[in-house]
């Protein structure tokens, strides 16, 4: 059995939304009938109980309730869920428990009770603070309710909260984008996910694209936006994640550091290091109705040892931090020699600088990240 296993997080997927947004490719479904709240909570618990043998004796460092819109569920249901989870698996004393919430007025009335239920981090899907942009995105909230949501979150006790904000919105000018970002910063979130709207297959926007800003405009948004974020004390630690000191999202960071996670709920994925050192990936049935009838693993497979180095890099190189051998060896159980050949080549190409602890990616490496990643692909 490996002596030190990676940290463990729990992801819980809630697959319903009041209305499907035209750009969204998540496993989310418009709620057309009454929310099957208790049935779903029971399915989640069955799901978790079945998976427990894979995480025996370990403790949860983080829980992330995402979706969909988990805040459609009542505080009482989520409290019950958290209590039942706590009876099955130990929580770390400083566990981070995040809930994704929409900034609609109905959700805001529940924030206080969510906080009392033990949720200690809120992630608000605000996306924009301009009404015309929210309408263009097909969102059901407006800027006023978004501002109110932040006030309600703070009053409820959430000192740790994230704002999701997008740029590259339909007909968005540079002024619009910077105004939006400044408005979000004025709300003083501890964390900001600032990411570009992209047209994903299987979305309404993909089939009927709205007029989006040109690439050179997007580049300008990014340059000026990053400058603004930095000047307000937000450190970029991942491609689209910015945080105040000590407020990085521990749950997401664990994904990028190739940590372990157990996923329960419709379509949820898991990545777990087992007691024999093998890394297993697992997923649950995607459609909510199918999942409700059978919350068992739909697919399970082991990651081949020769793929682990590449998989680690695929995740880790999203982070803006130096690579260390210590973490690599802990997370993959591989020897550092397994990366010697691709790393030497990467250094020869000027993409990384090797040091005794590991390596750092050079500016050239960040510019040609895909080329860097390719070097770690297993040889056939
Ligand atoms: S609210 Fe979020 S999860 Fe739901 S459809 Fe819109 S973008 Fe997707």
Residue range 63-94, pLDDT digits in tens: 999 999 999 999 999 999 999 999 999 999 99
Q: What percent of the chain has pLDDT over 90?
A: 96
Looking at per-residue confidence, does 322 or 2 come out higher? 322
pLDDT band at 3, cuts 50/70/90?
Answer: low
Residue 35 has pLDDT above 70, yes or no: yes
State if residue 127 touches ligand 1 by the CB under 6 angstroms criterion.
no
Residues 6+ apart with CB under 8 A from 93: none
**Residue range 18-47: mean pLDDT, rounded:** 97
Please give the Cα distance from 166 to 200 (Å, whole number).
Answer: 15
- Give pLDDT tens digits for 343-375: 999 999 999 999 999 999 999 999 999 999 999
pLDDT tens figures, 222-273: 999 999 999 999 999 999 999 999 999 999 999 999 999 999 999 999 999 9
Task: Name residue, tokens 């299987």.
Answer: 202
Position 2 scores a pLDDT of 63
Which residue's CA is the nearest one to ligand 1's atom 3? 68
Rounded (10°) CA dihedral 362, 220, 242, 160: 180
pLDDT tens-digit readout, 187-229: 999 999 999 999 999 999 999 999 999 999 999 999 999 999 9
Cβ 166 under 6 angstroms from ligand 1: no
Is 380 a residue whose pLDDT tops 80? no
- Say how many C-beta atoms besides its own lie within 10 A of residue 223's C-beta: 10
Give tens-digit pLDDT for 6-21. Answer: 999 999 999 999 999 9
> What is the CA(23)–ligand 1 centre distance, in A?
8
pLDDT of residue 379: 80
Q: pLDDT class for 1, splitting at 50, 70, 90?
A: low
Rg of the chain over CA atoms, in angstroms?
21
Query: 18: Cβ below 6 Å to ligand 1?
Result: no
Closest CA to 7 of 261, 324, 322, 252: 261
Average pLDDT estimate for 37-62: 97
Please state whether the predicted TM-score (pTM) of the whole model is above 0.85.
yes
Per-residue pLDDT, 4: 83
């Amino acid at each position: 059995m490996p002596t030190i296993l990676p940290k463990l997080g729990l992801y819980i997927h809630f697959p319903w939304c009041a209305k499907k947004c035209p750009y969204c490719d998540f496993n989310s479904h418009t709620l057309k009938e009454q929310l099957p709240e208790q049935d779903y909570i029971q399915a989640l618990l069955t799901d978790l109980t079945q998976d427990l043998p894979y995480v025996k004796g370990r403790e949860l460092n983080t829980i992330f309730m995402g979706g969909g819109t988990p805040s459609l569920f009542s505080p009482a249901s989520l409290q019950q869920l958290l209590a039942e989870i706590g009876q099955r698996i130990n929580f770390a004393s400083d566990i981070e428990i995040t809930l994704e919430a929409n900034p609609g007025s109905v959700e805001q009335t529940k924030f206080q009770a969510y906080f009392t239920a033990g949720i200690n981090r809120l992630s608000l899907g605000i996306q924009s603070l301009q009404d015309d942009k929210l309408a263009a995105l097909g969102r059901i909230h407006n800027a006023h309710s978004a501002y109110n949501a932040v006030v309600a979150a703070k009053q409820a006790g959430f000192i740790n909260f994230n704002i999701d904000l997008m740029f590259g919105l339909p007909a968005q000018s540079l002024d619009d984008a910077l105004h939006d970002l400044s408005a979000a910063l004025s709300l003083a979130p501890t964390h900001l996910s600032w990411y570009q709207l992209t047209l994903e297959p299987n979305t309404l926007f993909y089939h009927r694209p709205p007029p989006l800003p040109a690439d050179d405009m997007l580049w300008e948004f990014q340059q000026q936006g990053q400058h603004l974020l930095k000047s307000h004390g937000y450190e970029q630690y991942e491609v689209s994640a910015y945080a105040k000191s000590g407020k990085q999202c521990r749950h997401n960071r664990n994904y990028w550091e190739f940590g372990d996670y157990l996923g329960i709920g419709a379509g949820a994925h898991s990545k777990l290091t087992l007691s024999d050192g093998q890394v297993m990936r697992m997923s649950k049935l995607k459609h909510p109705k199918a999942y409700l009838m059978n919350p068992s693993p739909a697919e399970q497979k082991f990651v081949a040892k020769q793929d682990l180095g590449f998989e680690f890099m695929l995740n880790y190189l999203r982070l803006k931090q130096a690579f260390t051998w210590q973490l690599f060896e802990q997370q993959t159980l591989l020897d550092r020699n397994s990366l010697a050949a691709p790393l030497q080549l990467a250094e020869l190409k000027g993409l990384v600088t090797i040091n005794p602890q590991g390596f750092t990616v050079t500016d050239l490496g960040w510019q040609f990240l895909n080329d860097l990643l390719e070097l770690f692909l297993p040889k056939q």
